[in-house]
Structure 1
Amino acid sequence: MPLTTNNLKFTIKPKALYVLTFLFAVASTSVAQEIIDETKPEVSKDTVTDSGATKIDGVAAVVGDYIVLDSDIDKTMLQLKDQGASMANFDRCQLFGKLLEDKLYAHHAIQDSIDVNDAEIRSRVDQQINQFLQQTNGSMEELLEFYRKDDEVSFREEMFEINKSNMLATEMKKKIIDEVEVTPEEVRQFFNKIPKEERPTFGTELKVAQIVIEPKVSDEEVQRVIDRLNEFKQQVEEEGKSFTSRAVLYTEDGGSKKTGGLYTLDRSKPRMVKEFREVAFSLQEGQISEPFKTDYGYHIIYLEKIRGQEYDVRHILLMPKVSEKEIEEAKKELEKVRELIVSGDMTFAEAAKEFSDEKETKFQGGQLINPQTQDYNFELTKMDPELYGQIQELENNEISPVITDQDRTGAIKFKLVTVTDRTDEHVADYARDYLKIKELALNEKRLKAIEDWQEEKIDETYIKISSAYRNCDFKSNWLKK
């Protein structure tokens, strides 16, 4: 939520640091991450500057088991510039400090035996390289030349280490703040210590409700999909065909198609929808499930390997198709529902409960839940652009025309939307805005937990900063003064 106060020093870091954190998370996919070799000299390799001149690439810092090279900072700056970021918001020292933080997190994640999933990392690398290849029209040679790599294997190895280090850092930060909570009394004290003239201003907020009707798939089409999946199952079990090949050829899950439907599930870390997990965890190694349904369509799962808590599974997803006739019938049905509401024969909430196909909202009168705040309020300036476009012209309780939309699988659906309440921009009020104030208080406490952790770990970790960066005004005590 944007704050239009001039100085909320109790809760908010300077805007530039937030921008830096966000952009750095994107840019870090191209920054080298290396485990330090005690025999490695201070000077390691050449790099190219913005001007095209070649300079010797030196070690900028050592943090525990990791090193930061001068080129790491250069690459980060170039990535940010390529993404259109204004370098006026942060300087080289700030970028360097962020690199030091990430190395500190990654180092102590290893010390704390925090584990990350290698299969998930490789899958992420595959996705990233595929995205990169789109920028070079599919040319791996151009991609390797751009990143100055001799071959695809070494490029993938570096990308793997980059992602592994980033994931370790993320898991370490998550561990630090996971158990941080605030009590109602802490929220009250937090709010009261903010001077009245410095209290945040919250923007205009709306409550939005919707009724969704999805075209019904015919029983014949569902049976066709189930029969097809059973055919794949039979081909593998009785004819010795490859499940992986069937997935590559036929699955409609774009995220796993190129990897043969592969996912790694962890019993301790919920991933995928509930129905998928339940079926996967009920299988024995080498077993193929019966066809089953999720919100995405119909699946069969092959359990390839169990490794402790981790399950390597492959799946094939098929999505039943709806006919033009079924699409038109769904639209006409929703138009009739709209007439009932506009005529006063039903309230919007009553119609949502009776007609809506959206399970998450129908029993709450169609009210949408804000995924960021977990309440019913949507701040106008932070609303999803698509949703904003659908409600921006509506007055309170006005019903939209029938809107054609798509679900997360790309299937067509129809909906009505309405604004059920509107709160204008206002200065924070403790009773009215308790949940937002609680979130600000929690963020402040989390920042303090991270600062305390950094202070403690910097003190006990071997850190060496190159003389070229000793004049930086670091936020944290990297120089151990």
Structure 2
Amino acid sequence: MKNIIRFIPIFLLPLGLFAQNDRAVIDRVVATVGGEIILLSEVQEQYGFVKKDKPDLPEEYQCVVLQILIVQKLLVNQAKLVSVEVKDEEVEAQIDARIERLRAYFNQDDKAIEEFYGQSVDQMKMQLNSDMRSQLLAERMQGKVTEKATITPLEVQRFFSNIPKDSLPYFNAEVEIREIVYKPKVNAEERAKARQRIDDLHKRISEKGEDFAELAKKFSDDAGSGAQGGDLGFQKRGTFVSEFEAMAYKLEPNQLSPVIETEFGFHIIQLLERRGNLIHCRHILIKPEITEADLDLAKAKLDTVRQLIRDGKLSFTDAVKKYGDKNQQSFNNDGRVANPRTGNSYFEVADLETSVFFAVDGLKEGDIAEPFRFKSQDGSDQFRIVQLVSRSKPHKADLKLDYGKIQVAALEQKKGEYIEKWVLEKLNTTYLSISDLFSTCPNLQEMIGISAARRQ
């Protein structure tokens, strides 16, 4: 049981998410925890996931993986017993978020996703439903177990003092940054051209009866859905931008919308099917072209904003609110950029985007880099200015310099102790069976001993 807690973050990863359909294993149940089962394929998929980052990982590590899964299933089992609730909408939202990240990786090309994984996006969503619900139940139950765990400054100090001096972690150089992302404005001439194009397409569908899907494949500027004939699949409220969603939910099945405009451009929408609060629609998007002149104006505008901040005539926070792109994570955080890997605002220099790295290289704390151009996630050209908030040098962990990180580590250790105590208590009254395939795993025999011995 001593090694369970250090691996807690791993078992909260989605298990089997986006695994390719190339299993060479004949599946079988390798453990039962209460009413929950663990399959051999789950163990091997999770082991393979960890092994990608650690190629030298021994086969015996599968014992640890199964132990982690047993704890996860125990959390799920107990969550069901005490009626922990996970709503369908929460499951769908988590799946949608992961699918969107996958789409971004594949440049919004659903066909490429299907070729790589051997199943469509809709099939993926159905497959992920059960795993995602279990993951959310486990996370929620873990939260209930550890919700009263707090840490005092004295406990942080003791935690740090107990780390042997020769085992103190070494922190690489880190920076904190703020940004203002500015979207170039479309000029009137290009906007009119785009409007004419979408109007012509609308007439070809509504008056001439041409096929919506074929026109979407040929002309839509939404590469992801365009390849699928404009098909956006089943989606719930809150998925689309407000103008698009308001129109989509007004339509009757097979009805064609008038042309509407959103921040992305002009759309034609057709509702295909409605299932309660879910709608299945398709669309054609025509984006007005951003010209080089538009880009030059955007860069000049952001340069003016930068100068106003440097002259003390405008605060960085106010500039974010007035000029920033509201779709950026940093917009609602005074421009402060969060590290997606850690969730905090500190970036190791190697983790920065290349363009940001070169922008902040050589800056002093408080300095603001000149505007630079970059590609947003949707492939459009935007500009940003970046301010260096802080920069630390490479160093060994220091209680004063790294108090926040050490505090988090101390709290996680305490939560781990809560979880370990809880697991020992629940194994007392929960049925646990482990396959002979893992009979040589000493860590698992210890768990079986706890579960069986205390029921005798």
- Range class of TM-score, shorter chain: 0.5 to 0.7
Residues 474, 28 of structure 1: alpha-carbon distance in 2 compared, 3 angstrom cutoff:
farther
Residues 141-162 of structure 1 deviation map (CA, whole Å, 9 limit, x = unaligned) = xx89xxxxxxx78x99997775
CA change 1:86–1:317 in 2 (3 A) is farther
Structure 1, 72-81 or 248-257: larger mean CA deviation: 72-81
- 8 Å contact from structure 1 (residues 398, 418) kept in 2: yes
Deviation at 1:224, TM superposition (A): 2.9
What does residue range 25-44 of structure 1 map to in structure 2 within 5 Å? 28=19, 30=21
Aligned residue type for 1:306: R
Residues 319 and 139 of structure 1, relative CA distance in 2, 3 Å threshold = closer
1:327-342 matched pairs, under 5 angstroms: 327-338=295-306
Following superposition of structure 1 onto structure 2, how do residues 67-466 of structure 1 map, counting pairs within 5 Å?
A: 68-69=39-40, 73-74=43-44, 77=47, 81=51, 85-88=55-58, 91-100=61-70, 115=88, 163-176=128-141, 186-188=150-152, 191=155, 194-198=158-162, 206-259=175-228, 260-267=230-237, 270-338=238-306, 344=311, 346=313, 349=316, 352=319, 356-359=323-326, 367-370=335-338, 377-380=345-348, 384-386=352-354, 387-422=356-391, 427-428=398-399, 463-466=432-435
Can you list the C-alpha shifts for 1:191-238, whole angstroms capped at 9, x where unaligned?
Answer: 568445148988766442334443321123223333433444444444
Aligned residues: 426
1:395 Cα offset (Å): 0.8
Q: Which moved more, 1:250-259 or 1:402-411?
A: 250-259
1 CA distance for matches of 2:329 and 2:48? 45
What does the per-residue CA deviation read over 1:304-334, in whole Å, with 9 as the maximum and x for residues that have no partner? 2221232223233332211122222333444
Deviation at 1:429, TM superposition (A): 6.3
Deviates most, 231-240 or 453-462 = 453-462
Answer yes or no: is the 8 Å Cα contact 1:353–1:365 preserved in 2: no
Would the aligned equivalents of 1:341 and 1:351 in 2 still touch at CA under 8 Å?
no
CA contact (8 A) 1:23 1:80 kept: no
Which digits, 9 at most, give the CA deviation of each residue in 1:158-212, with x for residues without a partner? 97775344323233334435778857x9354895684451489887664423344
Q: Identity percentage over the alignment?
A: 22
* In structure 2, C-alpha distance between the alignment counterparts of 1:21 and 1:31, rounded to whole Å: 24
Question: What RMSD over aligned residues (CA atoms) do the two structures have, in Å?
Answer: 5.4
- What is the Cα deviation at residue 87 of structure 1? 0.8
Equivalent positions of 1:54-73 (< 5 A) are: 59-62=29-32, 64=35, 66=37, 68-69=39-40, 73=43
Paired residue type of 1:87: L
Question: SS of 2:177's equivalent?
Answer: strand
Counterpart-to-counterpart distance in 2, 1:355 and 1:439? 34
Q: C-alpha offsets along residues 101-129 of structure 1, whole Å, 9 cap, x if unaligned?
A: 666678899997965669x79x959x79x
Residue identity opposite 1:197 in structure 2: S
Counterpart residue identity of residue 466, structure 1: S
Q: Which amino acid aligns with 1:367?
A: G
Judged with a 3 Å threshold, the aligned counterparts in structure 2 of structure 1 residues 408 and 362 are, in CA distance, closer, same or farther, namely closer
For structure 2, list consecutive stretches of 5 or more residues without a partner in the other structure. Answer: none
The TM-score with structure 1 as length reference comes to 0.65
Deviation per CA, 1:215-267, whole angstroms, max 9, x where unpaired? 32112322333343344444444444444443333333333334333232234
Contact 1:261 1:314 in 2 (8 A): yes
Unpaired runs of at least 5, structure 1: 1-9, 33-46, 49-55, 145-151
**Residues 237 and 180 (structure 1 numbering): CA distance in 2 closer, same or farther, change over 3 Å?**
farther
Distance across 1 between alignment mates of 2:333 and 2:437: 62
SS at match of 1:413: strand
TM-score (norm 2): 0.67
